[in-house]
Every structure is written in structure tokens, then in C-alpha cells.
Structure 1
């Protein structure tokens, strides 16, 4: 078969519309995958870049040891921008009143700090803040608002850090890389690295935190740097943006898991759509090939003609898909930049990987999913011209399925770069397909009994299902898999968004109050009642366990040493409570009553399990020189870091600490309109520590909002792939249905009856597919949420209704729209075209 004949075939098929579905399927498949991979690639880079403000850089190297010059030079040689800093605790003294001093956390930085993000400064203590990229000049220092009150200094006054006198020229409220830690509660001071020597704080044995910040838009540069210095990193910590904030790291990790799942589904759906379209295209050309063989065409010529035809279709479809995917992705990125990633100055460019993925998708889909049906044309007998009972030839079903599985493996491995993920996904699909097929057969057989008792329209629909039971079983499997995947993706997205929003509600505490004395308790309590919506003062005690069931704690530790766990003998923060703290759940034992006079304690579950502590055990504590025994009455489960509240290993019953003085702490949400009252409270209680974490919370919320929107758009793109598969599957079976109903019309059947029976048949197929999809979705959601996203799985009754609505409604609608026009054609036209 020469090129001219192939071109004539293509031109003829295009004019008749035969080629359009396959070309569109291939173009949409490649375009969808290209759009998703290009958009995800750039969104991930943009979100990582935005989240990098929590680190102040893209990477950092931290240590108690000075950063070696070798590390700095290696980074500079690779084009990485660097900035060094030193953080240490030091007393800051007021030059005008030496009796005024305060322990502060001093950060000394170079001139290009910060590399990512901006500083938040104020023009007056606790006043409105603004962003800036400027830092103090040499000889100058910026103080936190609390320090201005404590030291009784103003802008322009002089303070001393070590031996260095420095002029106060600014008020620093937040840095992008500070984050929040209960171990870092000292007020911040910002100064220049050039002034460090004058302070003379760097002495042998000094506790200093050295950091080297690194910035570059190319991730491969960091991989190269890490490999170059990996052997010398002992004693140094290599950090990325996920290490900077636990919630941001968890959000980014789960979003990437969602992107991986969604993209993989898009790849598989694209392959299915192309396979269905290619199979229909090949079947409709059996007669053409039969005629060519009667005219003397050899199988070898037919083979090369099929390959030439396939490559030509593939080239056009892939190029069209890549162009469309690129154009759509640019539009999406522009929209997301304008509406979502508003704090990212420029979305990083995409790498070549997404383009290669789109190209690979087209090529693998062609040869794994489209080639086997085309090779069936080789086995067409010349007798096909006069006989319609064509049987499969050329390629066995085993080879066809093997090609599909190998192609799927290749696509998923290329996309996910994970053998384990790919094998589990393929295994799941095989199991689901076999299981769905079995259930579909039983549903069709059950429908046969129901159909015998139905009216004429429904009886016609049920009889159509029975005549094409093998084909309909396949369609139910395809429909149910598509519906299942779409439900899974939507529900996983909902779980992600709900979990992220639950982490940071609108009234998340934005101020932490520490070191509240008994004398200050009433003043702070009144502030809470008047100016905050919710909040309690929690009593804090510092103590430790000295014995377990009468056995000294160190002996007990040596006899019951577990896998790595916090030491039992270490000092712990303790508290008491009448009620079970929020975000805590008693999983063993019972919580005490308010009127109890026993000395009881509740222990955190993981800690209790690690040290083999159980209900009824007696622990002896020493708190401020006082020693007392308590009995374990309950074991509590809690999620560390999941909520903005204080968490404890030990919570005691009321009355245990009655004779022991305490300090108090609180985490409160203070609205912006009450910041003046907060400033007055701090001024009245200068020894109390108040930490403003509002900027940190807003940064975290900003990143989570952007990740959420990105997930929404990926869902929309994958839904598009699902709709394509549904259309291709319905189109693949359209010919036989239309031919049957053309015969019925020629025998007197009305258009209303035929169109109604077709719609009813698709509705029944959709409902059956919905039933199967519901079971598959529940099982898959359990595995994804429990094993991949680490959520607590819960059965969702709403998806049972959604499964029926999606199955029946969508399949019936698409089936009706795709066959409506053909039913309106004269029967003679349809029968003549069908041969």
C-alpha cells in the first residue's frame, strides 16, 4: 500500500467523519495529559517557591558548628545564591538605664537577607505592620515591640548587645523564616553580621546556631550540591521547605500525592479512550480491507499500510494534542497566577519532562492500545466482502491485553517514576476489572428477568442488553471504572480540603501568652473575657517522674527500654484539667469526675505504650521540690501538631497541685481591632511573654489556599478525561445499536419508541455501572486514605446516591446526545452505510 493510497484513505475517512473520533481522542488524550503534567509541574514549583518563605530560602544548612567555606564555595560555583546568618541568645541592655535588660533571640544577617519572603515591620510598638526587604544598616539594630516596652527605649535610642552599642532604628515583628516553636519564645532582635565581632559573643563554648540559606530555581542544582557535600554533612542539617513548617510540609506532600493519583488516572483514561476509538475505527474498515484483498493486496502491504496510516494519525493527533495542551496550560497558569498564586512574582517555567510525558503518552497509546485493533485488519478474509460473519484474526486477545497492560505499565512508570505505585495501581485495576466484569454479568442476567415483565419500551431496552451481553459487560466495566475513578478523585480532594481547612479555622489562636504569674492571672482572665471569643488559661508545672510502681525511674528505664522514645526520666510540662482537653480522646480507662479527691493522671497513648505504662500503675512525680504519687486512670490519644493548643504527655486530676504554685499559659485569638487593648495589657504586665504568631498563621493559610485551588483545577482536568472515555465507549457500540433500531424503524417502529429504548438502555447500563462503581470506590478510598494520605477512613453514604446519579444520569445523557441525530436519519441511509 503506497503513500498515495494511505493519503487517500485518510482524506476519505476525514470527509466521512470516520477518522475524526480517533484523532480527537488521541489529541484530547495527549492534550489532557500534557495540560495536567505541564500545569502540575509549574504549580508544584510555584507552590514550593511560595512555601519557601517559611525557610527564607529554597534550602538551608543548619548547625551548631560554623558553616565550612567549602559549602559556600560549592554553592556559589553552581550558581546558587547564598546568605549566611547566626542566631544566638543574648542579654540586651538599655544604654540609658542599665537596670533594664532582657534575654533576646538575636539574628545577625548578611545584606541580602531574606532570600525568600519579606520582613514585617511596624512604625510603632504593636502597631500596624508592613512588608519590607530592607534590613538594619551596620551599627543599627531592630527590636521586637515587646523589647521596646521591657527596655523602655524608643526609636533612636541605643542598646547594647554584648560589648556593641547599637542604635534602634526599626521595629521587627516577623521574619519569613522564624516559624513558631515553644523553644524559641524570646523576643527577636535583628542586626548585621558585620557587627558580630564587636559584640564579642562568639567565644569557646558559645551556643550559636549557624545557617546558610540557598536559593536557585533549578532543583537539579540542589541535588548536585547535596551529592558534592554529602560526605561532609555529619553534624550539619540539610533542610528544605517541608522541614520549615509541619503543616505546610504535610499539605504539599498530600497535594503531590493527589497530583500523582490524578495524573495517573488521566494517563489510564487516555489509553482507554484511544483503545476504544481505535477498535471502532478498525472494525469499520474490515470491508475496505476485504475489498483490497480481493483486488490482490498482500498481507505485508496491508501491514505496512496500517502502520503508515497509524503513524500519520498519530503524528497529527500528538502534535495537535501537544499544541492544545500547551495553550490550555498557559491559560490555566495565567489564571492561577492572577487569582491564586498572587504572592508569586513569576511562576517558574516548566521543565521538558511534561512535554516528553505527553509525547510518550501519544506514542505508547498508539502502539499499545491502537496498534492491536489495526493489526486485526491483516486477518480480514476476502470473503468479508460477501459474508458478514467476520471472526477475529491477525492478533489474539492475549496479545491485545498484553499490549494494553505493558503500555499501561510503561505510561505509569514514566509518569510516576515509581515501580511500587505503578504495580499496585495496575494490580488494583486488574482486580477491579475482573470483579466488575463478574458483577456486570450477574446484573445483566438479573435484568433479563425484570425485562420480561416490563413495558414495550423497557422490554426493548432489556432485550438490547441481552443481545449484546458480552459487549455490554465490557461497557459496564468501562463505565464503572470511569465513574469509580472520578468519585475517588472528587472524594479524595474533598478529604484533603476538609483536613486542611480544619487545621486553620478562622479563629485559630494568633497569640501565645507565656509566663503568666498568679498575680497576673486575674488581669489576663478579664482580657480574655472582654476581647477574645474563646480561650482558657492553662496551669503549667515543671516536673518529672522519679519512680514507677516504687521502682526508681532509671532502673525502670533500663529494664523497659523501648524503641526510640522520649525519655521517661526527663522533665516534662504538666497540667491539670477537669474536662478532657480538646483534640484528646480517652481510649483506655475512664476520665475522672469533677468531684474526685483521688490523685489521678492520664497518660498520652504512644508514650504509655512505649514505656509499658498501664491503667492502675503508680507514678511518683517531683514538682518544685514536692514529691507525690498518682495512679494512672486513663490513656489518651491525641494528634500532635494537628491543632493550635498545648498538648501534654501527662494531665492530672483537680487538686493534685493545690499546694504547688504555678504559672499559666494561653493560646488566644485576638482580633485586629483589639490590638491596642493587647498593648495596654502587655504594658501593665512587662514580665509576661506574648508571642504574635498571626503572620505565621497567615503564611500557612496562604499556602494551603493555593494548594487547595490547584487541586480543584487538577480535578477538573481529570474529569475531562473521564468524559472523553465515556463518549468513546458509547461511540464504540453506537453502530450496532443504530443498525438494529434502523431495522425496527423500517418495520414500523416510531422514533419516540426507538429513541426512548436507546435512552433507557444507556440508563440501565449507567445504573448497573453505578452499582459496581460504588463498591469499588469504597474499597479504593479505604486503601488511598489509610495507606497513602494517612487519613482516618469513614464510609460515606452520600457516594451511594452519587454513584447512581453519575452512572444513570451521565451515561444516559451522553448516550442520548450521541445517538439522537442518527435516529432521526432515514432507515435506508443507515442500512446502506452499514452494508
Structure 2
């Protein structure tokens, strides 16, 4: 075994110096780097969520509700010596001088948090001190962002509703606070005892009520089992295992996107490895055949090959893991803050994953040839024509295909996505094959009608080369196509789709929402609209209701498979009423009510809601409105143009149906530039009003999208580099064949120029077909995203298709010619002697 290891090491060094391993190892390193970078990043975030679960919710267990939590939950905890505290979170406006700002208010009791600490300081750059208490009465703590927005400092006064409070500290860190991705407004924390004095919580206010609990794990488990059966509608429990589900959901999506990005690198790397393994395997088999001639046992040869495979796999994995570690630092810098505040240190698990992936990919490439060596005899040395028996395509690619499919399923983390990816790759292959056969057929026909010249003959020879090397050409083009497609798709998403989305907003579209308007404030708000000459600013009523049953079947008894349907079934709805359907609504089914039907128990639903909950015209729906049952019959389904930014509703009734229920109101309008002070004055007069600046929110959304797209592009850089490796590997894999072909052509009278034209034509076709298919596929995916995700008109990007196709048709043959020109300068006699 020691001798076999020494021989394997010596042969590996020899093959490296000869250049037979460079592309193989390079592709393997990049694949491992992509895998480990994504694994490092996602594992650090998962570790932060798991290790700091109690800190992320401020206790060991949280009971959350959209209504005041009954005292029964806290009463059950007291006899068991379980600590409890309550929090209240909602959005509202605060005023400082002439400025106002939307904030996320968190009212906490004196013993908050039960787990972890808050960090406060005197200014934004302060190191701060850790505390485990709430602000004092009459005081608030504000995040640095709010201090900057309102230009306030410690000691300044803020108007919070009807209460004037002093800023006593800057809130530097709150572990239970959501990341920037989910908290658009800055935090303001105040003592819960001050909450009634603010008069901010009115009917219709959206408040997240929390009861936090802390005790030993056994006590918490026992308590959770006791209260789980008595949880009502709109109530749920969160613990350290499912703390912050919104972050975990976003992490799952990011992990899928980043995993798919890494998957592209892995697939391309497998292609490069398969191509570059041909010269490596040929040299290895020649060496092993000579060793067999000198009496080396077959088992020893297989040991050497196995050890050599492990040397290549482990050394590549080591370098790739180091590269992945440094790459994830940039990835964490770009997107880590979107999920949690600080990321824990890395573990060795991603390194192990990278090593296993490296070994798996290397074995998949070498295994078919190692299997072939079982029949290798000394006679192979004497008969070079039978030295390497050609393997069938199935035997050669089966292990690699198996590993590739396994990697796709592992990286995608979703069966549907994995299957779709595999089907897309097969479809891509068929499309490329169709282009190859079509192009070669057209070239043959075109040559028949063109003047007989050596140039046209050389071009035709190059194009027909695609058909002669059909399998290899297809693999090359799939590699190029995938790399180009993902880069083009990101270009379309970040550029065209976002611009089209923004452009889809009409001129004068609403840029402000006002919510929590009480009935006695409607006249003052309408007066504000008149004073500012604001047109089409309607005020709509809202009544909170929860869907209980459909056609007498309890909604809670339905097992919803669709995640959106499940969320819709559990949430509260804002019911509104209207005499006429809004102009941005379109009737799809049923009929709108007449004036003589006002007051009748009818309802119109938005089509998406109805589809998710499987509701049809004629169905009877039972709602719970503030504890009172209300049965309504569905008379119509509507399509709502949400992109108009107008106030719209999932559910609308005729006037008179909801008159007996308390309602708050909402309005959307376009605030002219320069009218901000008047709006601030309105908020001062009515502190309970909440103004949402849509423009500011969209700016933050764009910033988040920018960060996430940069993170994905960051991983796709590996794909781009591996794509170049695929090109080089394709050249290396076919170099000997092309040199032989070029030599024979030169011997039979072809000039250096004619051979060069043939190869340039062949690789120009490879670049042209790859870029054309990639650009069409990228536009197709962009169309799907624009229509089904963003709901905006799609505009085909012809310039991207033309530019990318021409660029690939120029750069790819140029790179190929640079790789082969050395052999074209050698005399045919010298090449024949070297064959």
C-alpha cells in the first residue's frame, strides 16, 4: 500500500506538470468553493437562529395574537413559577418639531426581556451598556436610524400620540427585533404603562400582542402542552425551535436561490471535469498498461488509481474549501445583515460537505475508466488500436449523471425545483441538438448555391465538425448556454423587470397611505385633501373580520396544502363596503349589486383569494365580526389591479351590511412635492393617524433587492469562471483529435489559413447557438417572472439577444483560435512524426 501511495503521488505530480490535470482540478476547486461558500453562509444564519432562539423572541416561549391575549394564559403560568411579560407592537407616527416619521412602536413591561439583554447608549456610535429592563415612565428609547431621520438626540422631546415623552437613550441592539428585511420603520420602545396615555390603539388598529414566558425546558414543555388545546383563532405559540418564522422562511428562499446558483457551478464543473478527464485518463491508462507489462498486479494498479483519485479530490477540496470560506465572508457582508444582526463563527460541517462532494464528483468521472481497466492486458501495449476500448455513452456518463442529479436535488432542496431543473436541462439539450442539425443542414444547402471557393469549403468543414463531434459539441454548448443564461437572467431581472415594474405605476399614483382614520376624523381628512387640491382621494371604511366557515364547513377543519391558502384562512380580513366597483377592479364572474340590494348579506371577493380558498359564486361564508356572526353570499369575483397603489380590498359588501359594526378608515393619495408640512400638521392634530410613505418603503425594498441580487450574482461568478473552464476543457479534450485532423488536412494540401477558418467557423457556431438559446431561455424565464410574480407587462429584450449572441460568436472562436494556433504553426512533417 505504501508503494502504491508513493507511485500514485509521483504520477499525480507528473500529470500536473504535463498539464493533464490543470482544468480538472481547477473545475473541481471552483465547484467545491461554490458549495462551501453557500453552505458556510446559510449554516451561520441557521446557527444564529438556533443558538439564539430564546434571544430572538425575548423568552423561552411566546404566545402571539392579533387581539388582546386572555389573562387565562398568564394565570396558568403563575402557579408553575413561570416568568411572564407582555409586549405590544404596532406602527404609528411620531412627531418632533415640524417633522413626523412612521415608526414601529414596541411597548414593553418593566421585566422585558426575560432572556437576553438590550444594549442602549447615549449616541449612535456609543459602545453602549447591556440592560434587562424597560424605559422609565415618560421616556422612550429610539433606534439610531430614527435619531438620524428626525435629527434628535438624548434629552429631546417626542410626541407619541397624545403623550409627550423624552428620549432617554439610543437603542443600539434589540435581539428580538426583526432584521432590516422585515422592519421598514425604525423602532421606538416605551414603557407599556404609558401606552393608554398615547391613545394610539383605537378600534381597527393592527397590534401584535405577545405574552413571553421563561422557565426551565421541562416547565416550558409542560406549559405549552397545557395551553396548546385552548389556543383560539388568531393565537399561536412560538418557541426557540420556530423563533422568527419569517426569517426562516426568507432564509429557506435565499438558500434555494443561492443553492441553485451553486448548483449551476456544480453542473458546469461536472461538464468541465468530464471533458478534461479525457487526456488525463488516456495518459493514466497508458502508464498503467506499461506497468502491467512490467508485471504489476491488477489490484496494485487499481490501488494506485484509487489513491490518485483521492489525492486529486482531497487536495482540490482543501483549496476549494479555503476559497469558499473567503467567498462567504463577502456573501455574509452583502446579505447577512438582512437576516440577523450578528453571525456566529463558522463550523467545519461545510468543509466536510465540500470534501464529500469533491470525492463524489471525482469518483463519478474516474469510475467508468477504472471499471474498464479490469480487462486491461499487456497486449494493449502492442496493439495501440485496442489500448482504450471505447465505452458506451451510457456507461461513461451514468455515474456522472447520477452524481449530478443527486447534487441538483441536494442544492435545490425542493423536489419540484430539482425535477424542473433536470427537465429544463434535457429540453436545453434537445433544443441545442435541433440547432446543430438545422445549422449543418442549412450550411450544406448554402454551399451548393455559393461560388466554389476554398473559404466557403473551409467554413462548411468547420460547421460539419459540429455533427462529427455531436456529443462533445452538445456538452460544450450546454455548458456555455447555462452560464450565459443565468447571467442574462440576472441582467433582465435587475434591469428591465425592475424598471418596467417602476414604470408600470401611472403618473400621479398614490404615494401615501393614511390608516386608522376614525369616523369623527373623516371630515378633517377630507378638508385636508381639498386644501391641498388632492384629487381622487377616497376614504374607505374597514371592519375587521375572520372567516369561520364556507358552506357550513369550518375553515379550521380544512387541510390546506397551499401555503398561501393556509395563511389566508388564518388571518383576519378587512371587510369594506361600496356602492360602485372601483375603476381598477374588473368583474370576472357573477354580478355587482343594484341599489335595491343595499343592506342585503352579499359579498364580492378578489379572484386570487377566492382561488386560494376554493370559493365560488353562490357560496355562503360565515364571518366572525367582533364576536358577532355574519353570513354573506358570494355574488361576484373581481380582478384587482394592485399595482395602482390605490386602497383595495379582498372582500367588499353593499352599503348598509356593516353599519352596525365599528369601523376605521383608510385612504391613499398622491401628496404633491412641498406639501409634507401640511401633512405633518394633520398628524399633529390627529396623532392616532398613521401615514405610510410608499416611496420610502419602495426605496428600502429596492435596497434589499439590490443586496440579495448582488449576493446571488456573487455566487454566479463561480458559474462564469467555470464556464470559461468548460471552454478550455473542451479545447484540451479535443486538442489531440483536432491536431490530428489539422495535420491530415495540411498533408492533403490545406493551407494554414483554411484550417484556421474551419476551426473559427466551428467555434463561432458553438458560441452563436449557445448565446442564442441562452438569451431566448433567459427572456422566457423573465417573461414568467414578470407575468406570474410581478404582474407587469413583459417587453422582449432584443438588444440583449443580439449583443450577447454576437459577442459570444466573436469571443469563443477567438479563444479557441488562440489555444490552437501554436499547432497550426508547426510543419505537417513534424506533426506526423509526433503522432
Against the structure 1 CA distance between its residues 511 and 461, is the aligned structure 2 distance closer, same or farther, given a 3 Å change threshold?
A: same
8 Å CA contact 2:548–2:554 kept in 1: the answer is no
In structure 1, the residue matched to 2:815 is 814
Aligned pairs for 1:40-119 (under 5 A) are 40-42=42-44, 60-62=62-64, 64=69, 65-66=73-74, 84-87=85-88, 107-112=108-113
Distance 2:79 2:414 in 1: 32
Against the structure 1 CA distance between its residues 30 and 761, is the aligned structure 2 distance closer, same or farther, given a 3 Å change threshold?
A: same
1:202-248 residue CA offsets vs partner (Å, 9 max, x unmatched): xxxxx99443389xxxxxx99x99999875561342279999797x7
In structure 1, the residue matched to 2:313 is 314
Distance 1:766 1:578 in 2: 54
8 Å CA contact 2:510–2:670 kept in 1: the answer is yes
TM-score relative to the length of structure 2: 0.68
Aligned pairs for 1:328-407 (under 5 A) are 328-330=327-329, 332-333=330-331, 336=334, 341=337, 346-376=342-372, 379=375, 389-390=385-386, 392-393=388-389, 397-407=393-403
In structure 2, the residue matched to 1:573 is 576
Distance 1:71 1:805 in 2: 77
Are 2:485 and 1:487 aligned? yes
Say what the alpha-carbon RMSD is for the aligned residues: 6.2
Deviation of 1:758 after TM superposition, in Å, equals 1.4
User: Helix, strand or coil: the match of 1:665?
Assistant: strand
Deviation of 1:525 after TM superposition, in Å, equals 0.3
1:448-469 residue CA offsets vs partner (Å, 9 max, x unmatched): 4445556533432432454563
Distance 2:263 2:463 in 1: 32
8 Å CA contact 2:8–2:304 kept in 1: the answer is yes
In structure 2, the residue matched to 1:93 is none
Comparing 135-144 and 823-832, the one that deviates more = 135-144
Against the structure 1 CA distance between its residues 652 and 342, is the aligned structure 2 distance closer, same or farther, given a 3 Å change threshold?
A: closer
Are 2:29 and 1:30 aligned? no
8 Å CA contact 1:379–1:392 kept in 2: the answer is no
Distance 1:452 1:336 in 2: 57
In structure 2, the residue matched to 1:474 is 472
Distance 1:189 1:538 in 2: 31
Distance 1:344 1:807 in 2: 41
In structure 2, the residue matched to 1:274 is 273
Aligned pairs for 1:817-828 (under 5 A) are 817-828=818-829
Against the structure 1 CA distance between its residues 678 and 316, is the aligned structure 2 distance closer, same or farther, given a 3 Å change threshold?
A: same
Aligned pairs for 1:438-449 (under 5 A) are 440-441=436-437, 443-449=439-445
Distance 2:676 2:263 in 1: 49
8 Å CA contact 2:77–2:84 kept in 1: the answer is no
Are 2:522 and 1:524 aligned? no
8 Å CA contact 1:271–1:408 kept in 2: the answer is yes
Distance 2:606 2:807 in 1: 45
Distance 1:690 1:477 in 2: 58
Aligned pairs for 1:155-554 (under 5 A) are 155=165, 190-191=190-191, 209-212=209-212, 231=225, 234=228, 235=231, 236-238=236-238, 252-285=251-284, 287-330=286-329, 332-333=330-331, 336=334, 341=337, 346-376=342-372, 379=375, 389-390=385-386, 392-393=388-389, 397-416=393-412, 422=418, 425-426=421-422, 428-430=424-426, 432-433=428-429, 436-437=432-433, 440-441=436-437, 443-451=439-447, 455-466=453-464, 469-480=467-478, 482-484=480-482, 486-488=484-486, 490-491=488-489, 494-495=492-493, 509=512, 512=515, 514-515=517-518, 517-526=521-530, 528-529=532-533, 536-540=537-541
In structure 1, the residue matched to 2:199 is none
Against the structure 1 CA distance between its residues 826 and 528, is the aligned structure 2 distance closer, same or farther, given a 3 Å change threshold?
A: farther
Distance 1:177 1:303 in 2: 58
Comparing 715-724 and 3-12, the one that deviates more = 3-12
8 Å CA contact 2:436–2:467 kept in 1: the answer is no
TM-score relative to the length of structure 1: 0.68
8 Å CA contact 1:260–1:416 kept in 2: the answer is yes
Deviation of 1:262 after TM superposition, in Å, equals 1.6
Are 2:639 and 1:637 aligned? yes
User: Helix, strand or coil: the match of 2:512?
Assistant: coil
Distance 2:721 2:674 in 1: 46
Aligned pairs for 1:736-747 (under 5 A) are 736-745=737-746
User: Helix, strand or coil: the match of 2:524?
Assistant: helix
1:69-107 residue CA offsets vs partner (Å, 9 max, x unmatched): 699999xxxxxxx99434499xxxxxxxxxxxxxx9954
In structure 2, the residue matched to 1:126 is none
Against the structure 1 CA distance between its residues 398 and 195, is the aligned structure 2 distance closer, same or farther, given a 3 Å change threshold?
A: closer
8 Å CA contact 1:29–1:321 kept in 2: the answer is yes
Against the structure 1 CA distance between its residues 702 and 237, is the aligned structure 2 distance closer, same or farther, given a 3 Å change threshold?
A: farther
8 Å CA contact 2:605–2:650 kept in 1: the answer is yes
Deviation of 1:815 after TM superposition, in Å, equals 2.1
Distance 1:735 1:709 in 2: 41
8 Å CA contact 2:479–2:723 kept in 1: the answer is no
User: Helix, strand or coil: the match of 2:399?
Assistant: helix
User: Helix, strand or coil: the match of 1:580?
Assistant: coil
Distance 1:671 1:18 in 2: 68
Aligned pairs for 1:545-694 (under 5 A) are 557-558=551-552, 572-575=575-578, 579-581=582-584, 584-588=585-589, 603-606=605-608, 614=617, 635-638=637-640, 646-650=647-651, 665-667=666-668, 676-685=677-686, 689-691=689-691
User: Helix, strand or coil: the match of 2:109?
Assistant: strand
8 Å CA contact 2:54–2:115 kept in 1: the answer is no
1:663-703 residue CA offsets vs partner (Å, 9 max, x unmatched): 853245779986543332234456x6235678987876654
Gaps of 5+ in 1: 75-81, 90-103, 124-130, 157-167, 197-206, 215-220, 546-552, 624-629
User: Helix, strand or coil: the match of 1:211?
Assistant: strand
User: Helix, strand or coil: the match of 1:479?
Assistant: helix
8 Å CA contact 1:380–1:393 kept in 2: the answer is no
1:499-543 residue CA offsets vs partner (Å, 9 max, x unmatched): 88959999853754622634314432046548xxx9823232669
Against the structure 1 CA distance between its residues 723 and 580, is the aligned structure 2 distance closer, same or farther, given a 3 Å change threshold?
A: farther
Deviation of 1:367 after TM superposition, in Å, equals 0.6
